[in-house]
Structure formats: structure tokens, C-alpha cells
Copies of this chain bind each other. A is one copy, B any other.
Amino acid sequence: MFPLMENDRSFLGPPPVSSEVAQAILQSAVNEFSERGFHGASLRQLALGAGVTLSNIYNYFPGKQEILLGVLREAVAAQRALVEAALAEAEDSVADRFVDAVGAFVRYYVVYRQISIVATSEFRYLEGDYRREIVAGRDRTQGIFTRLLDEGIADGTFRTPFPHEATLAVLTMCGAVSAWYRPGGALTPDEVARHYGRLSLALVEGLGE
């Protein structure tokens, strides 16, 4: 019931867009957008990939923009769900919470690889209020990391002289994982999460005694 996810791990609430047909459309959109880009993808091909008539798409989405919005909504929701779930189970120390949050954050780019690629690269083509909605959702997730950084800086756990850039750097380097990760490749999702937790901790200068 969340077919946009590559490895099926159902720990998430109900998907924002229900209906099997709508899901098929979104799934095909992820394929097409990730391969040809928002503007390069044609709804005809997208419909074909979804096993749906071109015109029938319009019974589920008012237009191309809204399909993109649908994809991005799922992406934003999935990522935040992962991060918040991780934080709920994390240890007390800032360092632990930070590492766990980063682990979940990067895990999103592994588990939802394809959709995350679309979310990253096609977001720019979202317009107006749709764009604002997604920005707000994304900012909410990023805010979690900003606050963790501040907290770690305040109590001396993190010693980086550039907390703001460091936060951005952490989020960015995690995002790049979707570009090279291949399911069934050298690393398991767990390993990726562990590695990037470590890299992040180093980045914010929270290693050592």
C-alpha cells in the first residue's frame, strides 16, 4: 500500500493519495519524471506506464502540476515519518539523537530512492502554492536538524565553528546517496545509515572524547 517505496517496509501511516489508479499514476510519474524530467516526460507515456488512458488521468489529477505535487507530498511525508520515528526511539544524548536522525534521513534516500530523486530534481518545477506547501514540509523536516545542531553546539557536544553550513552539508551529502546507491549493491541500508551517521558526526566535530 505504498508502492512508491522500493524496499517494502510498512511502518507508515496512510498514503496521502489513495485509490489504486491514482497510485499507479503516481508510480508511473516517478518513473517518467526521474528518467526524463518533469518537462521531458509526456503524460501520454506516463499514462501508458500506469496502464491508464491518457484522458482518465484527469479523473484523478487536475493536471501535470498536481501529479508532481502528489509525488512530492508522498516524498516529504515519507522522509519526515522516517526521521520522527527514529527520534522517538533514540537514546537521550544529543549525539545519539543526531546520529539516529541522520541515519533515518539518509535511509529515506536509500529506501525511496527513485521518488527521492524526483523530489530533489523536479521540485523546481512546482509552482505557486504547491511549491510553498512542499517548501514548508521540507523546512519542517530540516528544522529538526537545525535544532539538534543548536542543542549540540550549546552543550559543547558539537564543536564545529560553522553550525549553519555544517547542517546544510549534512543534509546535502545524505541526498547525494540516491544518486549512487543501488539496491542489492555493496552496502545495506543499515550500513549506509551507520556510515553517514559517522560522517555527519565528524562533520559537526562531535567525535572524540
Chain A positions within 8 Å of B, measured between CB atoms, are 36-40, 121, 124-125, 160-162, 165-166, 168-169, 172-173, 175-176, 180, 195-196, 198-199, 202-205, 207-208
Contact = CB atoms under 8 A, between A and B. Distances in A.
Contacts of A203: 169, 199, 202-203
A125 B41 CA distance: 12
Q: Determine the main DSSP class of A at the interface with B.
A: helix
Given A199-B160, A202-B203, A124 B165 contact: no
A138 to B, nearest CB: 13
11 contacts: A37-B124, A39-B39, A121-B121, A121-B124, A161-B198, A162-B195, A165-B199, A168-B180, A173-B173, A202-B205, A205-B207
Given A39-B36, A205-B202, A173 B168 contact: yes
